[in-house]
Amino acid sequence: MPIKFRCPSCRQAYTIASKKAGTKLFCQKCKTKIKVPEKSTPEPPVEPVQKPTQPPAIGGKGEVPNEDLFADVTPDRNAVEDVEFSESPEPDTSSTNRPPKSEADFRTAEIEVGGESNERLSPDQYDPPPLDQMDGLGSSESTGGDASEAPSDDDDDLAAVLAFEKSMEDGGETTAPAHVPLPDELFAEDDDEEEDGFGSRADDDAEELDLTPMVDVTFLLLIFFMITASFSIQKTLSVPPPDPEKEGASTSTTIKEEEEQEQTTIHIDSRNVISVDDEPIPNPSRLVDILRSKRTTDVLITSHESAIHEMLVKVVDAAQEVGMQKIRIGVTKGPE
């Protein structure tokens, strides 16, 4: 929600985005340094103003269809009325353009009034300030710099931050304070705004969601899943099927006798010692080198039934590493 507060010295009303809370600014009107409060200072509730009765007194024209458009949203009604009453003695200065019928007309009136000291602008000559002069913080146009001479060169700076309330400077004479809060200027950013522009204005400004806690939780969940994740891929080593009919020992012996010249035989005995071609290998890590030096593509692996499974897997792994084409496995029983 934007913060609404008043300058403590001159009671100038300001509206500022809530992210500016706590910062220090200079009042545009009285130049005192003010600190933006953390919360809006309470304002008296704004009732609909009986303004439709007022314009004839000022401008002499009664047919004002949109008169209560700015009257209804005026947060600063008292200031407006004060000025109006004080200026009423001189209603004729620019009676052709008054009373304002819409926001544009209203602005035109103000400019013309303010320009009395410089030069008079006709309504057609008046160009509204370009949009880029209004920034996202919700400032209204810096009307002070356009028409009236009173605001200083600091005006742009402050207008960039503040949504400035200006009452209308309706008397038009230089006796009026340079800036009287102009109610419609507060909502001048969206030209299409309706009378309830106050609420929607508050929505599109400063209602930013704070994403930080969500990011924290998300990171926590991410880290949790990264740590606990186990990609369910089972590593396997394919082994040849054992002969279902016979016991492994007899099978392996027959093969051994027939093809002894062309194949390497590896035996794992009951004490988990690996022998390659009946030579015991004390260091199983050299098994790959020894198998590679054999230069065969067939290997017969026999394991004693009480040898542990790890040794057989180790031998099969080594045989696959050296590129053995044909691996057979048998199991022996007996004392060895």
Partner 1 sequence: MSGFKKNEKPEEAELDITPMIDVTFLLLIFFMVTSTMDQQKQINVPPAKHGVGVEASNATFVTILANEGGLGRVLLGDGADGEEVVSMDRVTRYVQQGLVEGRDLCIVKAERDVTEGRVQDVLRAVGEIEDMKFAVGVQAP
Footprint of partner 1 on this chain (CB under 8 A)? 19-20, 23-26, 154, 157-158, 160-161, 211, 214-215, 218-219, 221-222, 225-226, 228-244, 248, 268, 303-314, 316-317, 320-321, 329, 331, 333
**Closest approach of partner 1 to the CB of residue 264, in Å:** 17
Separation of alpha carbons 163 and 195, rounded Å: 17
Residue closer to partner 1, measured from CB, 6 or 20: 20
Neighbouring C-beta atoms of residue 66, cutoff 10 Å: 15
Residue closer to partner 1, measured from CB, 150 or 168: 150
**Closest approach of partner 1 to the CB of residue 11, in Å:** 21
Q: What are the tokens at 10?
A: 């001159």
**Closest approach of partner 1 to the CB of residue 288, in Å:** 10
Separation of alpha carbons 96 and 93, rounded Å: 9
Radius of gyration (C-alpha) of the chain in whole angstroms? 46
**Closest approach of partner 1 to the CB of residue 290, in Å:** 16
DSSP assignments along 267-291, one per residue? EE-TT--EEETTEEES-GGGHHHHH
Residue closer to partner 1, measured from CB, 131 or 211: 211
Residue closer to partner 1, measured from CB, 105 or 157: 157
**Closest approach of partner 1 to the CB of residue 244, in Å:** 5
Separation of alpha carbons 43 and 54, rounded Å: 24
Beta bridge partners of 304: 332
**Closest approach of partner 1 to the CB of residue 106, in Å:** 28
Sign of CA dihedral 159, 165, 170, 174: negative
- Strands (E) in 22-168, as ranges, are 24-26, 33-35, 162-164
Residue closer to partner 1, measured from CB, 291 or 329: 329
Residue closer to partner 1, measured from CB, 57 or 215: 215
Beta bridge partners of 267: 275, 302
Backbone angles phi, psi at 162, to 5 degrees: -95, 140
Neighbouring C-beta atoms of residue 252, cutoff 10 Å: 23
Q: What are the tokens at 239?
A: 């082994």
Residue closer to partner 1, measured from CB, 79 or 162: 162
Separation of alpha carbons 105 and 4, rounded Å: 27
SS3 at position 296: coil
**Closest approach of partner 1 to the CB of residue 173, in Å:** 29
Residue closer to partner 1, measured from CB, 45 or 241: 241
**Closest approach of partner 1 to the CB of residue 60, in Å:** 41
31 alpha carbon, distance to own chain's centre? 36
